[in-house]
């Protein structure tokens, strides 16, 4: 259960960071949880920065993590991977937000 929670919260961190960047770019963030689709809404030069990340691996926890049904429990490896991808998303978003300055 702890690993699943880590995966869900890692997804949430990445989703909120992407949506914050969308708002910063005056793009209305859609009500969806697919990280690839969120990144694709960014201007091409920014959206490409997320292309090399394992966003689908993290996106799966937006549903599987909350509504596990009969799915296997998340593993420690799943949690480490999810946190790593979320960290990569934040590493891409953070300098862009800082560069934009206060609003």
Topology at the third CATH level for domain 2-100: 1.20.120
The reported pLDDT for the residue numbered 70 is 57
Return the pLDDT at 103: 65
**Tell me, what's the pLDDT at 62?**
85
Can you list the residues of the chain whose pLDDT is less than 50?
none
Alpha-carbon distance of 38 to 20, in angstroms, equals 11
- Output the pTM of the full model: 0.89
Decide: 29 and 23 in contact? Cβ < 8 Å. yes
pLDDT for res 88: 96
**52 phi/psi in degrees, rounded to 5:** -90, -5
The torsion angles phi and psi of 40, rounded to 5 degrees, stand at: -70, -20
């Amino acid at each position: 259960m702890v690993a699943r929670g880590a995966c869900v919260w890692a997804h949430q961190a990445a989703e909120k960071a992407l949506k914050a960047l969308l708002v910063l770019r005056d793009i209305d963030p859609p009500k969806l949880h697919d990280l690839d689709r969120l990144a694709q809404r960014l201007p091409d030069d920014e959206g490409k920065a997320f292309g090399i990340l394992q966003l689908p691996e993290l996106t799966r926890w937006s549903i599987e993590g909350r509504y596990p049904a009969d799915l296997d429990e998340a593993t420690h490896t799943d949690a480490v991977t999810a946190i790593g991808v979320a960290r990569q998303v934040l590493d891409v978003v953070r300098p862009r937000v800082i560069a934009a300055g206060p609003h």
